[in-house]
């Protein structure tokens, strides 16, 4: 218990340091440039205190929950006993890791569909497009995009292929789509890439990738462990523009007939 307190106070101190720059910028510009006292100063200070406490608790909790969970799932789904029990082939090729891809896709789909900031973006897209793009359809498209992206990312870790080739291919698709997609959706689509990976999803997915890279034979966490988040933020851009293009095409066809 005492150990925990010493450790936690260390994390708390670090959190104070982390919050310092933004606090200095906000208070500094309020006092020096806007030259007005801060309204509800006590409430604001209490808010900053909650933020520091929250960051420290969150980071402490990660160490014993989402990080070990992600690694545990990676270890169990790639352990030789599990693979031999589930796969018919005894060969250790990429097909033996089917459940890994399924798990990655399920995590990507479920967390994205439940993501509140994506809901906000989807409602905004419905508003901009005047109803041509449905909020539900868009959320489904993004969720499928993230699911496919993370699954492909785990396939890349398993096979140890070069990350930049996948990302380069993704960029080429995005650039081509940008030329043809409805102009109003482009900014939203680009932003949706950053929105889909929330504060709780990122640690779990990172731990999953590192766990995979350390258990799959021939892989190295230093070289292969990262990159899943990159997939999760690239594919929604493609799926949002794709969905908007499909919706525009459908409404054109309907108005023609």
Partner 1 sequence: MSSLVRLLKNRFTLQLTRSLLDLAPIVGVIVAFQVGVIHQPIPEVFALLLGLLQVVLGLTLFVLGLEQGLFPIGESMAYAFARKGSVLWLLLFAFGLGFGTTVAEPALIAVANQAADVARQGNVIADSLEAQENYALGLRLTVALSVGFAIVVGVLRILRGWPLHYLMIGGYIGVMIMTPFAPAEIIGIAYDSGGVTTSTITVPLVTALGVGLATAIKGRNPLLDGFGLIAFASLTPMVFVMAFGMLVR
Nearest residue (CB) to partner 1, 68 versus 134: 68
Q: What is the closest distance, in whole angstroms, from the C-beta atom of residue 141 to partner 1 in the complex?
A: 18
Q: What is the closest distance, in whole angstroms, from the C-beta atom of residue 195 to partner 1 in the complex?
A: 7
Nearest residue (CB) to partner 1, 46 versus 257: 46
Q: What is the closest distance, in whole angstroms, from the C-beta atom of residue 103 to partner 1 in the complex?
A: 6
Nearest residue (CB) to partner 1, 15 versus 141: 15
Tally Cβ neighbours within 10 Å of residue 189: 26
Alpha helices in 30-134 (DSSP H): 41-64, 66-78, 80-86, 98-113, 116-128
- What are the backbone dihedrals phi and psi of residue 210, each rounded to the nearest 5 degrees, phi first? -65, -40
Residue 211 token pair? 């766990």
Q: What is the closest distance, in whole angstroms, from the C-beta atom of residue 66 to partner 1 in the complex?
A: 7
Q: What is the closest distance, in whole angstroms, from the C-beta atom of residue 51 to partner 1 in the complex?
A: 4
Q: Could you say which DSSP state residue 182 is in?
A: -
Distance CA 14, CA 2 (A): 19
Residue 127 token pair? 């508003």
Distance CA 163, CA 213 (A): 13
Nearest residue (CB) to partner 1, 61 versus 131: 61
Nearest residue (CB) to partner 1, 42 versus 253: 42
Distance CA 64, CA 21 (A): 28
Nearest residue (CB) to partner 1, 199 versus 255: 199
Residue 95 token pair? 């097909």
**Those residues with Cβ within 8 angstroms of residue 248's Cβ, 6 or more apart along the chain or in another chain:** 132, 182
Distance CA 83, CA 116 (A): 36
Q: What is the closest distance, in whole angstroms, from the C-beta atom of residue 253 to partner 1 in the complex?
A: 26
């Amino acid at each position: 218990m005492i150990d925990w307190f010493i450790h936690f106070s260390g994390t708390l101190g670090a959190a104070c340091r982390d919050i310092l720059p933004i606090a200095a910028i906000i208070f500094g510009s309020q006092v020096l440039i806007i030259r007005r006292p801060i309204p509800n100063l006590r409430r604001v200070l209490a808010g900053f205190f909650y933020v520091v406490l929250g960051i420290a608790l969150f980071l402490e909790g990660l160490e014993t929950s989402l990080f070990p969970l992600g690694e545990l799932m990676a270890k169990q789904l790639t352990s030789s006993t599990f693979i031999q029990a589930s796969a018919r082939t005894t060969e250790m090729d990429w097909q033996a890791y089917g459940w890994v891809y399924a798990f990655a896709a399920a995590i990507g789909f479920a967390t994205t569909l439940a993501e509140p900031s994506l809901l906000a973006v989807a409602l905004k897209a419905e508003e901009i497009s005047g109803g041509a793009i449905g909020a539900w359809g868009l959320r489904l498209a993004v969720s499928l995009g993230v699911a496919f992206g993370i699954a492909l990312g785990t396939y890349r870790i398993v096979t140890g292929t070069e990350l930049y080739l996948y990302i380069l291919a993704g960029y080429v698709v995005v650039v081509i789509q940008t030329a043809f997609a409805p102009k109003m959706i482009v900014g939203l689509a680009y932003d949706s890439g950053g929105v889909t990976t929330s504060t709780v999803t990122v640690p779990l997915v990172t731990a999953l990738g590192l766990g995979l890279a350390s258990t799959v034979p021939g892989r190295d966490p230093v070289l292969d462990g990262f990159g899943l988040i990159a997939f999760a933020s690239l594919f929604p851009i493609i799926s949002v523009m794709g969905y908007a293009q499909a919706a525009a095409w459908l409404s054109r066809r309907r108005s023609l007939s």
